[in-house]
Amino acid sequence: MRRSNWILLGFIGVLTAFSLVVMWPSEPWRYLPDAIPWPEGQGIKFPFIKLDGANIEGTTVERRAMRLGLDLRGGTRLVLEADTSELSDDELDRALEGASDIIERRVNAFGVAESEIQRQGDNRIAVQLPGIEADEAIRKIGKTALLEFRELQRDDQGNVAVNQNGEVTYVPMPVPTGENDITFAARYNQLLESAVWVPAKATGRDGVEKELTGRYLSGAYFGTDNLGRAVVNFEMNDEGAHLFKQITTRLIDQPLAFFLDGEPIRGADGSIQAPRVNSVISDQGQITGLSFDDADYLAKLLRAGAFPVPLTVVQQEDVDATLGEDSVRQSVIAGEVAMLVIILFMVLHYRLPGLLAGAALFVYTTVVLAVFKLWPVTLTLAGIAAFVLSVGMAVDANILIFERMKEELRIGRSLVIALDEGFNRAWSSIRDSNVSTLITCAILFWFGDQFGASLVKGFALTLAIGVIISMFSAILVTRTFLRLVIGARWLRNPAFWAPDLRQRGALIEQEAGATPGGGGGGS
C-alpha cells in the first residue's frame, strides 16, 4: 500500500508539473507580486492530428494564452434577427443557414480573427467579433448587400419620370444643344438625381420576367481601368448573362444605374454612377467612378453575396479592450487573495491536514487552469467567478473528510483507520452534493445555450469542470498526501492533527490493531 502511494504521489507530481507548465501565464508579473522575477510562460506545443474532411493533416496546436471571452478581451457581440414573416419554417432554416455563411465569409474577408458565428434559437444569429467596435462590426456585416441594376422610368414618348417633392412628372431627356454645351453635364446629372429608377427586368431562360440583381453575379473584383482609376469588374452567371444581354440591348445609349440596398452607388465625387450602355454586354461589366476604398469594399461586398433574408440587430454588446484587461487582473488577484485566505483558514483550523488540503488546492488550481487552457474553455468574468467558487467547493470536500476523521479519532480510532473511514464515509455526501451541483450546471448550460447568454454558459461549464476535478482532488490527491504523511511517525503528534483531542486524552498513536468496536456512544 505504501508503495502504491508513492506511485500516486509521483503521478500527482508529474501531473502538477505538466499543468503548471501549461497554465503558466506569458506575463506572470501582471498577476503576481513583481518583487520576484517570475519566468515568462511559454505555453505548450502539441502535435495533433486534425481530421479535416477527407484529408488528414498533422497540425501543431500551440496555446500561449487562455481563451478569453469578449468581456475580458474587448470586442462586440451582436444578435441579428431574421424577418420571419414571409418564410416557411423550412425556408427560414435554409435562409438562416445561408445568412450565417455569408456573415462568416464577410467577416473572414475583412480579417477578423477568432470570430464566432452561431445560430441561436429559431430565427437569430449571434456574432462575436473580438477587438472590433460595434458600429464598425455592423458596417462590416452589413445589413444586406443587394446589388440591383436599375433603369430610368419612361413613358411611351421616351420622357423620363422625375420625382419632385413626391410628385412624379415626365420630362424630356436633356440633349446637348451644341458641341460646346457646358451646362449639359450639370443638367444631365440633375436629371439622374431626381429621376425615378426602376429595376431593370428581362425574361429569364424559364420564361419568367426577372429583375437583374447581384444574385446573378458569379464574381466581383477590384481593379483599375486603363487610366488607373478604381473599378469593380463583375461577371454574370449563365442566367445573369441571359438577362443582362436583353437589358443592354434594350438600353443602348441609355444610363444604367447600380443600386445597393435601394441606394444608388455614388462615385468619389458624390454623383450617381449610371454609365451609358455603349454596346450589348452579356457576361461581364464594370462599375466605375468610385474611390479606391469604396471600390475595394464594394467588390468584397458583392463577392460575399446578399443575405437571403432581411436581418436586424436585436442585441448588441461591446466592451473596450482595456476594461477587459483590468477585469482579468482584478479577478485573478481576487482569486489569489481568496485562495490564500482559504488556505490560511484551513491551516489554522485543521493544522497538518489543513496544510495538505492547501497543497491539494494548489494541485487542483493548476490542473483546472491547465484544462481551461487546453480544452480551450472561453473564460469570461462569470467563468472566473465560477472558478473561485469551485475553489471554495473543492475545500468543502476536504472539510467533510477532515471533520469525519476528527470524529473517528474522538471515538478512539487510530489515525490510519480514521483516515480511511473519514474518506469512505464522506464519499457519499461528496458524491451526492456534487452531482446535484452538476445537475444545476447542466441546466444552466442549457439555459445559456437557449438564448446565447455565453456568460451563463461559460459559468456553467467552468463550474462543472471545477466540480469534477475537485472530486478527483479530494479523493485522490488529499488522500495520497495524508497517507504518506501518516507514514512518518513523528508527524503523528496530536498537536498536528486535532489540538482539542489532546485535552480529551484521545489515543491518537494507537496502532491499526486497536479494537474498532468501541464507538457506539455517538454523543
Partner 1 sequence: MFDFVRRRNFYYLLSLLVLLPGVISLIIPPALKAGIEFTSGTTFTARFQNEVEEDELRSALGDLGHPEARVQRTGENKFLVRTSELKGTTEAPPLGPAPEGERDILEAALVERFGSMVDADGEVVDRFIEYASVSATVSREIGRNAAIAVGAASVAILLYISWAFRSIPNPFRCGIAATIATLHDVVLVVGAYSLLGKLFDMEVNTMFITGLLTVIGFSVHDTIVVFDRIRENNARYPDLDLPTSVNNSILQTLGRSINTSFTVVLAVVALLLIGGVTIRPFLVVMLIGVITGTYSSIFVASQILVTWEERDIPRLFRRIAFRRAPAPSEG
Helix (H) or strand (E) holding 355: helix 321-374
Contact region with partner 1 (CB under 8 A), list: 110-118, 192-200, 249-257, 403-411: 403-411
CB of 107 to partner 1, least distance (A): 14
Residue 269 DSSP code: T
Q: Which stretch binds partner 1 (CB under 8 A): 243-251, 401-409, 472-480, 509-517?
A: 401-409
Binding mask 350-389 for partner 1 (x = CB under 8 A): -------------------------------xx-xxx-xx
Indicate whether 450 belongs to the interface with partner 1 (CB under 8 A): yes
27 forms part of the interface with partner 1 (CB under 8 A): no
**Interface positions, 264-303, toward partner 1 (CB under 8 A):** 265-266, 294, 297-298, 301
Long-range contacts of 500-509 (CB under 8 A, 24+ apart): 501/406, 501/409, 501/410, 504/410, 506/409, 506/410, 506/412, 507/412, 507/414, 508/409, 508/414, 508/415, 509/414, 509/415
Residue 312 within binding range of partner 1, rule CB under 8 A: yes
**Range 239-258, binding partner 1 (CB under 8 A):** none
Shortest distance in whole angstroms from residue 263 CB to partner 1 = 6
Interface residue with partner 1 among 335, 376, 487, 516 (CB under 8 A) is 335
Q: Which is nearer to partner 1, 22 or 319 (CB)?
A: 319
- Of 42 and 424, which CB lies nearer to partner 1 in the complex structure? 424
55 bridge partner residues:
52
Site for partner 1 in 97-156 (CB under 8 A): 121, 133-136, 138-139, 142-143, 145
* Helix 134-141 vs helix 89-109: crossing angle, to nearest 10: 110
CB of 315 to partner 1, least distance (A): 5
| Cβ–Cβ < 8 Å for 211, 239 | no
What is d(CA 194, CA 191) in angstroms, rounded to the nearest whole number? 5
Helix (H) or strand (E) holding 317: strand 311-319
- CB-CB neighbours of 26 under 10 Å: 12
Give the span between the Cα atoms of 304 and 98, in whole angstroms: 11
- Which of 19-27, 167-175, 192-200, 429-437 is the region at the interface with partner 1 (rule: CB under 8 A)? 429-437
| Footprint of partner 1 on 58-77 (CB under 8 A) | 71
Cell of 6: 508513492
Burial of residue 99 (CB within 10 Å: 0-12, 13-18, 19+) is buried
Residue whose CB is less far from partner 1, 9 or 475? 475
Residue 260 in the binding site for partner 1 (CB under 8 A): yes
Q: CB under 8 A: which stretch of 23-31, 108-116, 155-163, 451-459 binds partner 1?
A: 451-459
**With binding defined as CB under 8 A, does residue 424 bind partner 1?**
no
The two beta strands, 230-236 and 217-224, are: antiparallel
Distance CA 446, CA 444 (A): 5
Cell (9 digits) for 467: 466540480
Q: How far is Cα 312 from Cα 304, in angstroms, rounded to an integer?
A: 18
Report the residue number, 189 or 429, with the smaller CB distance to partner 1: 429
What are the E-state strand segments in 12-89? 44-52, 55-63, 75-82
How many residues of this chain bind partner 1 (CB under 8 A)? 92
Q: Which amino acid is at 108?
A: N
Contact residue for partner 1 among 68, 200, 247, 346 (CB under 8 A): 346
Q: How far is the CB of 1 from partner 1 (least distance, A)?
A: 26
- When binding is defined by CB under 8 A, the residue of 447, 491, 504, 512 that contacts partner 1 is 447
Decide whether 59 or 436 has the Cβ nearer to partner 1.
436
Site string for partner 1, 504-523 (x = CB under 8 A): ------------------xx
Q: Which of 65, 17, 27 is nearest to 363 (CA)?
A: 17
Q: Look up residue 104 and give its three cell numbers.
A: 462568416
Cβ proximity to partner 1, 164 vs 503, nearer residue: 503
Binding to partner 1, residues 480-509 (CB under 8 A):
none
Q: Would you count residue 325 as binding partner 1 (CB under 8 A)?
A: yes
